[in-house]
Amino acid sequence: MRAAVTATSRYLPKQIMTNHELEKMVDTSDDWIQSRTGIVERRVVSEGETTSDMCTHIAKELLERSNSEPNDVEVIIIATVTPDMPTPATASLVQNRIRANNAWGFDLSGACTGFIYAVDTGSRLIESGKYKKVMVIGVDTMSSVLDYTDRNTCVLFGDGGGGIMLEPAKNDENGIIDSILRTDGSGGDYLKIPGGGSLHPASHETVDQHLHYIRQDGKVVFKYAVKGMADISEDILIKNNIESNSIDLYVPHQANKRIIDSAAQRCGFNDDQVYININRYGNTTAGTIPICLDEAVELGKIKEGYLILLAAFGAGFTWGSMLIRWGK
- Domains, in order of start, for the chain: 3-168 (3.40.47.10), 175-325 (3.40.47.10)
The pLDDT-based confidence of 40 (bands split at 50, 70, 90) is very high
User: What pLDDT score was predicted for residue 24?
Assistant: 94
Provide the β-strand partners of residue 77.
106, 136
The pLDDT-based confidence of 31 (bands split at 50, 70, 90) is very high
Alpha carbon 310 to chain centroid distance? 10
Give the span between the Cα atoms of 192 and 194, in whole angstroms: 6
**pLDDT tens by residue, 220-255:** 999 999 999 999 999 999 999 999 999 999 999 999
Q: What is the DSSP letter of 85?
A: S
290 closest CA partner among 186, 87, 151, 138: 138
125 closest CA partner among 55, 77, 65, 189: 77
Q: What is the DSSP letter of 157?
A: B
User: What pLDDT score was predicted for residue 252?
Assistant: 98
The pLDDT-based confidence of 56 (bands split at 50, 70, 90) is very high
Its pTM stands at 0.97
User: What pLDDT score was predicted for residue 43?
Assistant: 98
Residues with catalytic roles? 112, 253, 283
Q: Are 277 and 254 in contact (CB under 8 A)?
A: yes
**pLDDT tens by residue, 158-172:** 999 999 999 999 999
The pLDDT-based confidence of 88 (bands split at 50, 70, 90) is very high
